[in-house]
Structure 1
Amino acid sequence: MLLLSLSVSALAQKSRILFVGNSLTYTNNLPELVKNEARKKGFKVQTTMIAYPNYALIDHLDDGEVQKRIRSGKFDYVIVQQGPSSQSEGREMLLDAGRKFQMLCQQNETELVFFMVWPSLTNYHTFEGVIKNHRDAAIENEALLCPVGEAWKDYFERTDDSTLYGLDGFHPSRKGSRLAAEVIVKTLFDNG
């Protein structure tokens, strides 16, 4: 896993998170689950979410709202989430938008974080592409990676239990969102 180790004192100051994404983020209110998971680990976290149905990262950049929020200087982390991005077009959008987000984050002393998602059950065979493209985006942009998709795939392959998926076979169940929150908190706040 691509994790960054920081001292606990540095992490205590990095507690404001902006989530940018789509329905994979707002289903089950992932930011609130992250806040609750962080609290259990002894961290105080404030979250803000900009998430709309069927949005890619480039859609957020085109709207301009995300730029205003990041420029406000109120965030320590900007967690970006796009769809699975396993195909070449999705990969290019992820990489291109990632570069733009990274420039914006660097200009505003904010850390960029990629939230790796998962494919739908019907497209499960594309999972390796999802993992590779999110890893490449994080590496290319020198950003953190929350490897939720890897944890999701590992759970599914160990248990043959698809209950991380909601009824539509794509959006997360409450259990799936809780797993995502655990991985995000571990990535951001686990220093060991």
Structure 2
Amino acid sequence: MIYTSLVLLLSLLIIGGAQAQKKKILFIGNSYTYVNDLPNTLYQLALSGEDTIQYDSSAPGGYTFEQHAVYPATLAKITQDNWDYVILQEQSQLPSFPPDQVEVEVYPFARKLDSLIHANHFCSQTMFFMTWGRKYGDAINCPYYPPLCSFEGMNQRLRESYLEMGVMNEAEVAPVGAAWQRSRMADSTLDLWSSDYSHPSVAGTYLTACVFYSSVYKKPCTGLPFISSLTAAQALFLQQIADSTVLDSLPNWYIGEFVPQAAFSWSSNENNVNFYNQSTHASLTWWNFGDGNTSTELNPTHEFSNPGTFQIQLIVSDSCTTDTITQEIQIYPTLVFKTSLPKIEIFPIPFSDQITICFPAIIKELSIIRIYSPDGKKVLEKEWQIQNNQLEHKLNTSALPDGIYLIQIITKTSCESFTSIKKSH
């Protein structure tokens, strides 16, 4: 089982190293998706950047998540391929309703669709399509729920609900509504709505496609040559709005938040090192200790046979994507003493801005003084040759922050180590 997991992990790492040129995307929504053919607009935009998209959609007018969850055509399209992304767009008004109503009428069916997506292909990424408020708010429902009386209020409720769906389902959110609001604030003369003040104009669909491009590919769309039927200036403006909305704050939209993220710490006792895996969203683990040895344990302990500097690599995966982190650690020599020699002494303990090292008269050769932080990193090193029977050496430690340190003194015939505390006055 360990062998199988390790092969899978390494193969994912090799695949992940190649630049992805093609994405398979399924859109599940309604008229906000099919008006002006959003999927094809995204396709053309990506193609102009030498990226390709294989796409399909299920978008009957006015459809809700509840209807899609039992709609045969939608269910068939979910299972027809191993989609990289499945984009979910709810009916335009429902997520803007009061939270207790959304909790009953929207969230359960968002969860059901997300479950169906992952049942078909575990590695598919659900992405929620945060839609926009109507240009002048929702006039029909305004009397019953005041936040819906304006674009800003309706847009805010949509934002809150879609972000909640992202958290609940560990899914990403394409912040289309947030980009629409930013565009409107920057230039209200570029109308993103069609004449019904609800559906998108060509400019609105283009901005939406730009947001999806930045969200899916996680790279800028600014400068892509496809501009639809817009002017070059209009297209450039909308591209910049999309990039600033998405790429400046990826964590806000949970983009990349629910994939493996490698992290670890360690503690050491001479050449024995305990490693602590602090990675998130990972089920497979592979360590490389930089000395020819590896491990698939979650929190391994490793004994280094020789001192030196080692590059510790941790690779983690969820069987779909991988993440790698490398950190450098220092293993200092195991202490060996000649008991017949007088001991080296240091003072004061604790020290502040200076340490005095007192050598026995018998030591005449070059000495190396090293100071290590608790994690094994060398923070100071100095060579000192005893001359004219001067047996005391004062070492400036003013640059070191307060804390616990290992002080190591190496001579030709001995190696001594002291633990001390730096404590400023």
Q: TM-score, normalised by structure 1?
A: 0.88
For residues 8 and 107 of structure 1, the distance between their equivalents in structure 2, rounded to whole angstroms, comes to 27
Structure 2: runs of 5 or more not aligned: 1-15, 138-150, 220-246, 248-425
Matched, 1:114 2:128: yes
For residues 17 and 164 of structure 2, the distance between their equivalents in structure 1, rounded to whole angstroms, comes to 28
For 1:87, the aligned partner's letter is: F
For residues 50 and 173 of structure 1, the distance between their equivalents in structure 2, rounded to whole angstroms, comes to 21
For residues 130 and 192 of structure 2, the distance between their equivalents in structure 1, rounded to whole angstroms, comes to 15
3-state SS of the aligned residue for 1:47?
strand
The alpha carbon displacement at 1:69 in A equals 1.6
| 1:71-101: CA deviation from partner (whole Å, max 9, x where unpaired) | 2234221111112411133454332222111
Rg (Cα) greater in structure: 2
Instruction: Name the count of aligned residue pairs.
Output: 185
Instruction: Report the equivalent of 2:235.
Output: none
The alpha carbon displacement at 1:12 in A equals 3.0
Percent of residue pairs bearing the same amino acid type: 26
Q: Superposition pairs for residues 118-133 of structure 1, below 5 Å? A: 118-123=132-137, 124=151, 125-133=153-161
Determine which structure has greater relative contact order: mean sequence separation of CA pairs < 8 Å that are 6+ residues apart, divided by chain length: 1
Instruction: Report the equivalent of 2:18.
Output: 9
Matched, 1:25 2:33: yes
CA contact (8 A) 2:21 2:50 kept: no
More helix by share: 1
Q: Superposition pairs for residues 11-160 of structure 1, below 5 Å? A: 11-13=20-22, 15-82=23-90, 83-84=92-93, 85-88=95-98, 89-90=101-102, 92-109=104-121, 110-123=124-137, 124=151, 125-160=153-188
Label 1:190 to 1:90 Cα distance change in 2 as closer, same or farther (>3 A). same
CA contact (8 A) 2:82 2:120 kept: no
Label 1:8 to 1:186 Cα distance change in 2 as closer, same or farther (>3 A). farther
The alpha carbon displacement at 1:64 in A equals 2.6
CA contact (8 A) 1:33 1:178 kept: yes
> Match for 1:169 among 168, 180, 197?
197
| 1:19-69: CA deviation from partner (whole Å, max 9, x where unpaired) | 111110000000000101111222110111111111111111121322222
Label 1:177 to 1:189 Cα distance change in 2 as closer, same or farther (>3 A). same
Query: What RMSD, in angstroms, separates the aligned Cα atoms of the two structures?
Result: 1.9
For residues 102 and 133 of structure 1, the distance between their equivalents in structure 2, rounded to whole angstroms, comes to 16
For 1:157, the aligned partner's letter is: M
* Bigger Cα displacement from structure 2, 145-154 vs 116-125: 116-125
